[in-house]
Amino acid sequence: MSPLGVAVLVLFILNAGLVLVVLALARQVGLLHERISPVGALALEHGPKVGEAVPALNLTAMGGEKIRLGEAWPRSRMVFFLSPTCPVCKKLLPALRSLAVAERDRLEIVLASDGEVAEHAALVRREKLDLPYVLSAELGMTFRIGKLPYAVLIGADGTVRAKGLVNNREQLESLLAAEDLGVGSMQDYLRRQAAE
């Protein structure tokens, strides 16, 4: 056999081996994907706990709308805490707008922060936000918000239904899923499933 034929044969054998390695790795990734469940928003144990009533708060949004928390309301409310300097918060704004439209029959979204009105007004203009936007240090202190972006889902009865750090749309939607399942977070749901 010529040296060229030997080289082609060796390359063929190496390529066949690489194909087998890639298939084995793809199988392992598939198995890992099945074992790892989605976690949802990371619930922190600060502020009112899931199931507790939200303290009564009378707030005024930047657009002048009056928002009262801690009492019965026709729909659930998601209070999304953000900052104009938070890149993840800005990345989630289109998802929030989309969620507000898709869930408008059962959910109202309220944006919340504190600080200078000017920088928040600039964010509202730049992002063309049409959601109620509240600036209130009292609101952040009530829920003891220490990390952003953070969302609290308040049921129509005025109690906290779910809450947690949210970094993507799936984690936002996990708060609604947690409410539907009657748990405080997807972590609680997974713990219950594991215990059963």
Helical segments of the chain, H only: 3-35, 87-102, 117-127, 137-143, 169-181, 186-195
Summarize pLDDT for 33-60 with one digit per residue, the tens. Answer: 666 655 667 667 788 999 999 999 999 9
Rounded to the nearest 10°, the torsion over CA 67, 167, 173, 188 is -100
Q: Give the model's confidence band at 80: pLDDT under 50 very low, under 70 low, under 90 confident, else very high.
A: very high
Domain locations along the chain: 1-36, 57-195
Domain boundaries 57-195, CATH class: alpha beta
Summarize pLDDT for 140-168 with one digit per residue, the tens. Answer: 999 999 899 999 999 999 999 999 999 99
Mean pLDDT of the chain: 91
- Is residue 169 pLDDT above 80, yes or no? yes
